[in-house]
């Protein structure tokens, strides 16, 4: 018998005995009655309503429930029979009688594969230009841990692609012999991984989760000779998968649909490196006012100062897309030519101020990179310029250099201004990363989410959306938390408390524009593995298109509450009605059994 089977068998025995037993002081048992897992009152009432008071619900009445109560228009009687067959595990013989009892109906509601909280198919228009989409983007995608001393590896790249990330960042540096290429976080103690390993891993895993294009952003610190070597490696590795830019791309980006199963390169063209010799020696200071106030984003400033430069200097410098001195310049034009022609999305940094860069009218498609601090300053001073820029070009926002422990920033400001590539450290965890996971559960988790119309439209006089404008309430969402289950299957009996069953409560956050932010919580249900709350909360939303519903379950403790599961759901994708909500661990991995039963209602 496997460990999981043994655990389930022990749980069955506990249920049969109807009690949990906990040892106190190693000498006597405490006995706790096990709650029966049964449908809450609302579920019974809905069943009775649609079964017309009968003890069984036939397919036609179940169909009416799906259409009227769950909002699943377009469902057919054939769909209903497939669902009922799956729940009842019946054969497809003509003798099969499709009917639900109230317990069958309850089991259907708890099946997340057919009654999950959000849409699971790609349903956005995928034929608009690339800049019309938010793109699931990683930062320093090769790092396994912190930004100063962790290993570089292809493994986090593979994990990111398997999650659906579409933007992979590689930092390219010469090896010690100056004849090869390493991927690592430069000027730190991070160990390198070869570019060949990274490219090979991208090729093998690029489209396992999504068919839409993977964008490789290169932070290039190479000589023209090594840039030519990159061009050779990229073309030989990807072959027909590599997208070669077309003349028309200078005016507008292609669509995600047109770029399906393609890999796209984005970096600065070589000529920009040649023109910016010694720019890499410039230093920018981190704003004193830009302190991180997030509870999950505490910075570790006590890192070893044995890097190749003083830590104080490192923390004050932002190396993203930095330029280095270029050797071998007399060969630059010839050797950089092939490399340049592979770059489909030309990247740049604001060299003469952010506002000027945002207002520059280039006649070719481009990508601009800003740090989180630069984005915040620009948003405070000239947010409308950012929105106008992102209607035509791509804006990438990356974490500030002081996030040495690989934490992340809140992404909502960037999204509210239309920034397509909000680059995150995917190897950590915390509320900011949970928000990122939640946003990209949208649109079938394909890694591309079409931006709301208000970020794309222009008025009759060319005016665009003003992120600072006061907005009226657009939608009201009611969220009811019925109950939770599954912890007894996924955790040991003493995981949360050695002497009694857990005391669970649920916190519900609304993340979004500042006016939409809210926080609610249920009461604590003591000593129960299957807590029943039956509590409803109301959220008024001004920008529901960007709102995220964060759900966190914790186990109450006198000292420090224990984490018991989380998920984050895009409000725009919520399916109304009674839904089961699977929970995830801190890293965003789905638990096997832990789930909540909830109801979502838009009014």
**Is pLDDT of 340 > 50?**
yes
**Is pLDDT of 333 > 90?**
no
Average pLDDT over residues 405-433: 96
Q: Which of 185, 221, 417, 584 is catalytic?
A: 185
* 135 and 106 in a common domain: no
DSSP state of 121: S
Average pLDDT over residues 555-575: 96
Give a yes or no: residue 298 inside a domain.
no
Lowest mean pLDDT among 92-106, 110-124, 303-317, 583-597: 303-317
* 239 and 156 in a common domain: yes
**Is pLDDT of 499 > 90?**
no
Give a yes or no: residue 21 inside a domain.
no
pLDDT tens column, 155-202: 999 999 999 999 999 999 999 999 999 999 999 999 999 999 999 999
* 531 and 427 in a common domain: no
- pLDDT bin (cut points 50, 70, 90) of residue 335 is low
Give a yes or no: residue 574 inside a domain.
yes
* 342 and 211 in a common domain: yes
Distance (Å, rounded) from C-alpha 189 to C-alpha 184?
Answer: 9
Average pLDDT over residues 73-102: 82
Distances in Å between the Cα of 597 and the Cα atoms of 172, 175, 302, 327, 431 are 47, 54, 43, 62, 22
* 568 in Cβ contact with 437 (< 8 Å): yes
Give a yes or no: residue 10 inside a domain.
no
* 338 and 197 in a common domain: yes
* 146 and 102 in a common domain: no
Give a yes or no: residue 327 inside a domain.
no
Average pLDDT over residues 124-143: 98
pLDDT at 12: 42
Picking from 166, 156, 167, the residue whose alpha carbon sits closest to that of residue 190 is 156
- pLDDT bin (cut points 50, 70, 90) of residue 26 is low
CATH number at residue 392: 3.20.20.190
Mean per-residue pLDDT over the chain, rounded: 87
Q: Which of 3, 123, 124, 139 is catalytic?
A: 139
CATH number at residue 54: 1.10.238
**Is pLDDT of 538 > 80?**
yes
Average pLDDT over residues 386-399: 96
Q: Could you tell me the pTM of the whole model?
A: 0.88
pLDDT tens column, 190-235: 999 999 999 999 999 999 999 999 999 999 999 999 999 999 999 9
CATH number at residue 520: 2.60.40.150
Give a yes or no: residue 289 inside a domain.
no
**Is pLDDT of 320 > 60?**
no
- pLDDT bin (cut points 50, 70, 90) of residue 32 is confident
pLDDT at 264: 98
The total number of structural domains that make up the chain: 3
- Tell me the pairing of strands 518-521 and 504-511: antiparallel
* 506 and 400 in a common domain: no
Name the residue range of residue 56's domain.
Answer: 41-110
pLDDT at 338: 84
Give a yes or no: residue 295 inside a domain.
no
pLDDT at 337: 62
**Is pLDDT of 306 > 50?**
no
- Annotated active-site residue 107? The verdict is no
* 499 and 409 in a common domain: no
- Tell me the pairing of strands 518-521 and 562-570: unpaired
Give a yes or no: residue 292 inside a domain.
no
* Neighbouring residues of 380: CB distance < 8 A, sequence distance ≥ 6: none
- pLDDT bin (cut points 50, 70, 90) of residue 388 is very high
pLDDT tens column, 269-280: 886 444 444 444
By 3-state DSSP, what share of the chain in percent is helix, strand and coil, each rounded to 5? Answer: 30, 25, 45
Of 397, 426, 455, the last residue of a domain is: 455
**Is pLDDT of 302 > 50?**
no
Distance (Å, rounded) from C-alpha 20 to C-alpha 16?
Answer: 10
More confident residue, 12 or 259: 259
* 225 and 151 in a common domain: yes
* Residue 323: other Cβ atoms inside 10 A: 22
* 57 and 160 in a common domain: no
* 409 in Cβ contact with 290 (< 8 Å): no
* 358 and 434 in a common domain: yes
pLDDT at 24: 67
Of 455, 488, 504, the last residue of a domain is: 455
* Neighbouring residues of 107: CB distance < 8 A, sequence distance ≥ 6: 87
* 341 and 237 in a common domain: yes
- Annotated active-site residue 94? The verdict is no
Lowest mean pLDDT among 28-37, 291-300, 460-469, 504-513: 291-300
Distances in Å between the Cα of 500 and the Cα atoms of 22, 158, 524, 563 are 6, 41, 14, 17
pLDDT at 360: 75
């Amino acid at each position: 018998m496997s460990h999981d089977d043994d655990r389930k068998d022990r749980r069955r025995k506990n249920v049969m005995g109807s009690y949990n037993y906990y040892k106190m002081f190693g000498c006597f048992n405490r006995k706790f009655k096990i709650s029966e897992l049964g449908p809450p009152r609302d579920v019974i009432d809905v069943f009775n309503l649609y079964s017309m008071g009968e003890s069984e619900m036939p397919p036609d009445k179940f169909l009416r429930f799906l259409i009227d109560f769950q909002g699943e228009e377009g469902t057919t009687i054939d769909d209903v029979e497939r669902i009922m067959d799956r729940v009842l595990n019946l054969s497809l013989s003509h003798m099969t009688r499709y009917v639900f009892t109230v317990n069958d109906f309850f089991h259907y509601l708890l099946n997340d594969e057919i009654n999950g909280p959000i849409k699971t198919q790609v349903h956005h228009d995928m034929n608009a230009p690339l800049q019309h989409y938010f793109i699931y983007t990683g930062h320093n995608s090769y790092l396994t841990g912190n930004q100063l001393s962790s290993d570089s590896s292809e493994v986090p790249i593979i994990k990111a692609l398997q999650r659906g990330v579409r933007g992979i960042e590689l930092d390219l540096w010469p090896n010690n012999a100056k004849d090869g290429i390493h991927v690592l976080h430069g000027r730190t103690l991070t160990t390198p991984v070869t570019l060949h390993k990274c490219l090979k891993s991208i090729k093998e895993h690029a489209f396992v989760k999504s068919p839409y294009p993977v964008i490789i952003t290169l932070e290039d610190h190479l000589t023209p000779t090594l840039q030519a070597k990159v061009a050779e490696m990229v073309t030989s590795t990807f072959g027909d998968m590599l997208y070669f830019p077309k003349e028309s791309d200078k005016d507008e980006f292609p669509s995600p649909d047109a770029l399906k199963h393609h890999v796209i390169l984005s970096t600065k063209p070589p000529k920009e490196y040649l023109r910016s010799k010694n720019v890499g020696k410039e230093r920018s200071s981190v704003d004193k006012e830009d302190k991180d106030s997030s509870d999950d984003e505490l910075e570790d400033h006590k890192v070893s100062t044995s890097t190749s430069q003083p830590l104080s200097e490192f923390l004050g410098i932002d190396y993203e897309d930095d330029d280095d001195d270029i050797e071998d310049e007399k060969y630059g034009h010839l050797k950089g030519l092939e490399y340049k022609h592979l770059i489909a999305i030309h990247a740049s940094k604001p060299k003469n101020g952010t506002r000027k860069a945002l207002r520059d009218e280039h006649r070719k498609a481009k990508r601009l990179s800003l740090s989180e601090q630069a984005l915040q300053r620009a948003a405070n001073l000239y947010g409308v310029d950012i929105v106008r820029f992102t209607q035509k070009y791509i804006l990438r926002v990356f974490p500030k250099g002081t996030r040495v422990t690989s934490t992340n920033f809140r992404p909502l400001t960037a999204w509210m201004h239309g920034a397509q590539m909000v680059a995150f450290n995917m190897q950590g965890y915390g509320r900011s990363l949970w928000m990122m996971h939640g946003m990209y559960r949208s649109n079938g988790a394909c890694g591309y989410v079409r931006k709301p119309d208000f970020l794309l439209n222009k008025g009759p006089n060319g005016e665009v959306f003003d992120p600072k404008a006061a907005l009226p309430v657009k939608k009201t969402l009611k969220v009811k938390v019925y109950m939770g289950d599954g912890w007894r299957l996924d955790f040991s009996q003493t995981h949360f408390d050695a002497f009694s069953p857990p005391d669970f409560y649920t916190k519900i956050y609304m993340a979004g524009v500042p006016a939409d932010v809210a926080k609610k919580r249920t009461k604590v249900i003591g000593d129960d593995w299957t807590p029943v709350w039956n509590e409803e909360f109301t959220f008024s939303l001004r920008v529901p298109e960007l709102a995220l519903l964060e759900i966190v379950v914790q186990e109450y403790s006198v000292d420090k509450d224990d984490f018991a599961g989380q998920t984050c759901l895009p409000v725009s994708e919520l399916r109304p009605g009674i839904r089961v909500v699977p929970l995830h661990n801190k890293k965003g991995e789905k638990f096997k059994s832990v789930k909540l039963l909830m109801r979502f209602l838009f009014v």
